[in-house]
């Protein structure tokens, strides 16, 4: 007899816990923010959390979305895949409507399967690993940052479409960054079929000169050079190409696009192309977000703040357009309407990558990098 | 064929620079059996001095070839002073110490000079003005060997002839040869051995500084670290030719430079260092004392 009483009490208590939660769900929108909030990678996760909270506070103060208040639920994954799956499960059990995250590509990959089963959309501010969108495994995945291969694609498209190159020489400095960029450029040129990669070769950073390699480029009759690496090697290469009377376009990645290259290469820099992150500091939304942050925290926002801010903005906009948090409607809204965000005017393509973010091609004109359109 | 000439020209240029540095290694080794690891840093300092001087001269309105000559001259004097001082403070006190001690001292000086320039100047690459004018030659000569490359090869050749004359036909050259053969005996017959050794360091440093100025002007950039790799390559060249042997150093440097250029041109530039050091290993297997080195019996 006593036991049943206790049982009933427990039941009542449990129900009591569940009831308000379900009753609440109608008038709040729960947004999970997952990423490293502790540990050594926390500097990559905290700015996104702060951005999400800032946007939520502003929207709530203005009456919320569709009359509902926004609730931000931060969840720490320390950038570790095994913790990320737990964090994802927890967020699903808390019945979140949308997730912002995760931050690291590995953790994101681990968590995405769980969100996919639960039919929850996740928008990452920072997971740049290309297959996350391109594999098609995670139709519920979106990101407000350009994928790693974007620069390689931009450089190869620029060489083949804008410059009309048919025979492209790709050089790199053998490092992770430089060779990674070169690999992607090669892949896209070969896939595009508009030009041929006539030379794909590493150069030794710190070697006395690159004249032998330059001669090799000449022998292959290349009509453009794509280089993956940093500015010291790039300036050495362009200066030796000029010395060897080779006047073909030279395209580098964002490791070349900087004042270091302009200073070292001097006159030889003239006309060189480089890809680099789009300049967003002119956007009013970006300026306002940064100013708000600085007045609240008294410091400059950290890494991925812009992207986190933009992720929150696109989600709230999509909920408003979709008239709720139903999966199919949200998906349609994310992919169809442009939103003014902290990273520019963006919408998502069929695979979940943002259109309108990422890299532009710059050219050195009169000793300055000028953005080409 | 044209491609072969292009590669040969680039190998010859590299080889000439290696030779200028390698001579310093080999001369010092010939006389005091010391591998002066700080020699690459002298080359780097030469380039830095030339850069600073040419900057100042440009401000004062000097132009073209006069900047080149003055900058090179001051760089050479500076580098000679560094070489002289280096020997005086880092090696002379250890003249009679076990052979390992001056070697460690040399490595220490190398690190010291690198970090000194790093702190006193900058860790970044600096633009080096093209002091050697780049004339418009006729094609196809222009892209096979332009005027800066020609100047490098000719300057190196002239320096080497000068060095040979100095060693063969002058008093100090005779004293150097005597010291190389037997230091104690040379001292007994009245050769001031300390002066001879100082002179050897000065000559080596002068050649290295010339190399530094030429390279800086040719590739257009320098930083505090360029001496390290150049030093390693030049040392390799000296060993390749037979360390202690002056024509050997030049031959070794040319072999090394050409090997690198052909390896980069016909195989892959990613592996040029692999081939360069591979050749060293092969030559040392079949000729342990180097291409022109004589097998000297160890004096016990």
The Cα–Cα gap between B66 and B54 comes to 10
Tokens of A325: 């948090």
Asked if the structure places residue B243 within a domain, the reply is: yes
A94: CB partners within 8 A, 6+ apart: A30, A32, A73
Residue B300 covered by a domain = no
Would you call A265 an interface residue with chain B, using a CB distance cutoff of 8 Å? yes
Task: Give the closest residue to B213 by CA, choosing from B151, B260, B255, B144.
Answer: B151
Residue B296 lies in a domain: no
Residues of chain B positioned with their CB less than 8 A from the CB of A211:
9-10, 13, 261
**Using CA atoms, how far apart are residues A262 and A234, in angstroms rounded to an integer?**
11
Domain with CATH 3.40.50.2300 in chain A: 2-145+282-355, 150-271
Residue A259 contacts B, CB cutoff 8 Å = no
Which helix or strand (DSSP H or E) is residue A340 part of?
A: strand A339-341
What gap in Å lies between CA B144 and CA B131, rounded to an integer? 20
Q: How far apart are CA B55 and CA B51, in angstroms?
A: 6
Determine the pLDDT at residue B235. Answer: 93
Q: Is B293 inside any structural domain? A: no
Helix (H) or strand (E) holding A141: strand A141-143
Contact A264 B13 (CB under 8 A): no
Q: Establish how many alpha carbons lie within 13 A of residue B269's alpha carbon, considering only the half-sphere containing its beta carbon.
A: 29
What tokens were used for B79?
């580098």
Which CATH number is associated with domain A2-145+282-355? 3.40.50.2300
Q: Write out the H or E segment, with its range, that includes residue A171.
A: strand A167-172
B55 close to B121: Cβ distance less than 8 angstroms: no
Range of the domain at B149: 2-133+142-286
> CB-based contacts of A162: which residues, under 8 Å, 6+ apart?
A361
Judging contacts by C-beta atoms under 8 Å, the chain B residues touching residue A210 are: 269
Q: Strand A344-348 to strand A339-341: parallel, antiparallel, or no bridges (unpaired)? A: antiparallel
Nearest residue in B to A203, CA atom: B270
- A77: DSSP letter: -
Calculate how close chain B gets to A161, using CA atoms only, in Å.
Answer: 29
B260 part of contact set with chain A, CB < 8 Å: yes
Q: Which of A227, A219, A271 is nearest to B143 (CA)?
A: A219
**pLDDT tens, position by position, B215-232:** 999 999 999 999 999 999
Name the fold adopted by A150-271.
Rossmann fold (3.40.50)
A258 and B CB contact within 8 Å: no
B223 touches chain A (CB under 8 A): yes
Terminal-residue alpha carbon distance, chain A: 80
- Interstrand relation of A368-371 and B126-127 (parallel, antiparallel or unpaired): unpaired
Contact residues on chain B for A201, CB-CB shorter than 8 A: 268-270
Report mean pLDDT in 10-residue bins for chain A, 373 residues.
62 52 63 91 90 94 91 92 94 94 90 94 91 91 90 92 94 88 93 93 89 92 93 92 91 88 91 88 88 90 90 93 91 90 90 87 92 82
Rounded Cα–Cα distance for residues A119 and A121 (Å) = 7
B73 Cα to chain A: minimum distance (Å)? 23
Give the integer Cα–Cα distance in Å for A141 and A120.
9
In chain B, how many domains are there?
1
Going by their DSSP bridges, the two strands A196-202 and A224-228 should be labelled as unpaired
User: Digits of tens for pLDDT over chain B (300 positions)?
Assistant: 889 999 999 999 999 999 999 999 999 998 988 999 999 999 999 999 999 999 999 888 887 788 999 999 999 999 999 999 999 999 999 988 998 999 999 999 999 999 999 999 888 889 998 888 888 777 777 778 888 899 999 999 999 999 999 999 999 999 999 999 899 999 999 999 999 999 999 999 999 999 999 999 999 999 999 999 999 999 999 999 998 889 999 999 999 999 999 999 999 888 888 998 999 899 889 988 888 877 665 555
Q: What is the CATH number of the domain that holds B154?
A: 1.10.3470
Which runs of consecutive H residues, i.e. helices, occur in A36-175? 42-61, 81-93, 105-117, 131-134, 150-157
Coarse DSSP helix, strand, coil percentages of chain B, rounded to the nearest 5 percent: 75, 0, 20
Distance of CA A54 to the CA centre of its chain: 20
Residue A213 has its nearest CB partner, among B146, B218, B264, at B264
ipTM for this prediction: 0.88
Instruction: Give CA torsion, residues B245, B249, B251, B254, to 10 deg.
Output: 180
pTM for the complete prediction?
Answer: 0.79
Name the closest residue on chain A to residue B230, using Cα atoms: A208
Backbone conformation region of residue A260, classed left if phi is above 0, alpha if psi is from -120 to 50, else beta: alpha
Nearest CA-CA distance, residue B265 and chain A, Å: 6
Q: CA-CA distance, A127 to A146, in Å (whole number)? A: 9
């Amino acid at each position: 007899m006593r036991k049943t009483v206790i049982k009933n009490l427990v039941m009542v208590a449990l129900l009591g816990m569940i009831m308000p939660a379900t009753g609440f769900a109608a008038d709040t929108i729960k947004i999970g923010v997952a990423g490293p909030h502790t540990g050594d990678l926390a500097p990559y996760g905290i700015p996104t959390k702060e951005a999400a909270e800032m946007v939520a506070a502003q929207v709530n103060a203005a009456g919320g979305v569709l009359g509902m208040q926004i609730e931000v639920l931060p969840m720490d994954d320390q950038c570790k895949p095994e913790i990320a799956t737990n964090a994802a499960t927890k967020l699903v059990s808390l019945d979140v409507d949308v997730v912002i995250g995760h931050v690291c590509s590995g953790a994101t990959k681990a968590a995405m399967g769980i969100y996919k089963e639960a039919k929850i959309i996740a928008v990452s501010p920072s997971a740049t690993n290309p297959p996350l969108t391109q594999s098609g495994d995670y139709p519920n995945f979106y990101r407000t940052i350009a994928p790693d291969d974007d620069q390689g694609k931009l450089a190869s498209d620029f060489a083949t479409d804008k410059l009309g190159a048919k025979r492209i020489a790709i050089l790199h400095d053998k490092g992770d960054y430089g060779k990674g960029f070169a690999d992607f450029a090669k892949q896209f040129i070969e896939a595009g079929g508009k030009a041929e990669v006539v030379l794909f070769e590493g150069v030794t950073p710190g070697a006395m000169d690159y004249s032998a390699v330059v001669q090799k480029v000449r022998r292959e009759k290349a009509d453009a050079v794509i280089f993956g690496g940093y500015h010291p090697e790039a300036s050495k290469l362009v200066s030796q190409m000029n010395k060897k009377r080779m006047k073909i376009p030279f395209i580098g990645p964002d490791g070349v696009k900087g004042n270091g290259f302009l200073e070292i290469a001097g006159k030889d820099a003239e006309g060189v192309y480089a890809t680099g992150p789009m300049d967003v500091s002119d956007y009013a939304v970006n300026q306002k977000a940064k100013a708000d942050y600085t007045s609240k925290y008294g410091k400059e926002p950290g890494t991925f703040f812009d992207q986190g801010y933009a992720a929150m903005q696109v989600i709230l906009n999509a909920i408003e357009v979709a008239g709720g948090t139903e999966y199919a409607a949200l998906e349609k809204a994310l992919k169809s309407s442009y939103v003014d965000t902290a990273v520019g005017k963006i919408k998502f393509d069929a695979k979940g990558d943002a259109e309108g973010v990422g890299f532009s091609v710059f050219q050195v004109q009169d000793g300055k990098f000028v953005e080409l359109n | 064929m044209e491609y072969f000439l292009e590669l040969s020209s680039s190998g010859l240029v590299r080889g000439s620079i290696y030779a200028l540095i390698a001579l310093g290694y080999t001369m010092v080794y010939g006389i005091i059996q010391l591998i002066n690891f700080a020699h690459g840093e002298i080359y780097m300092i030469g380039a830095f001095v030339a850069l600073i001087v040419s900057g100042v001269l440009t401000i004062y309105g000097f132009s073209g070839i006069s900047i080149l000559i003055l900058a090179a001259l001051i760089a050479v004097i500076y580098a000679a002073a560094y070489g002289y001082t280096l020997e005086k403070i880092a090696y002379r006190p250890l003249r009679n110490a076990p052979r390992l001690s001056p070697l460690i001292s040399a490595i220490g000086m190398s690190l010291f000079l690198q970090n000194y320039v790093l702190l006193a100047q900058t860790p970044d690459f600096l633009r080096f003005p093209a002091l050697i004018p780049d004339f418009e030659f006729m094609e196809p000569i222009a892209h096979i060997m332009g005027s800066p490359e020609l100047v490098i090869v000719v300057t190196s050749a002239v320096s080497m002839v000068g060095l040979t004359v100095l060693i063969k036909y002058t008093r100090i050259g005779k004293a150097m040869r005597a010291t190389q053969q037997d230091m104690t005996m040379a001292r007994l017959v009245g050769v001031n051995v300390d002066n001879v050794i100082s002179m050897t360091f000065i000559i080596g440093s002068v050649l290295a500084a010339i190399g530094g100025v030429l390279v800086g002007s040719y590739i257009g950039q320098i930083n505090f670290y360029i001496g390290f790799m150049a030093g390693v390559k030049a040392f390799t060249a000296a060993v390749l030719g037979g360390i202690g042997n002056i024509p050997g150093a030049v031959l070794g440097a040319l072999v090394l430079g050409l090997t690198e250029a052909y390896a980069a041109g016909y195989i892959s530039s990613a592996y040029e260092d692999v081939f360069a050091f591979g050749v060293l290993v092969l030559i040392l297997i079949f000729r342990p004392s180097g291409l022109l080195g004589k097998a000297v019996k160890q004096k016990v």
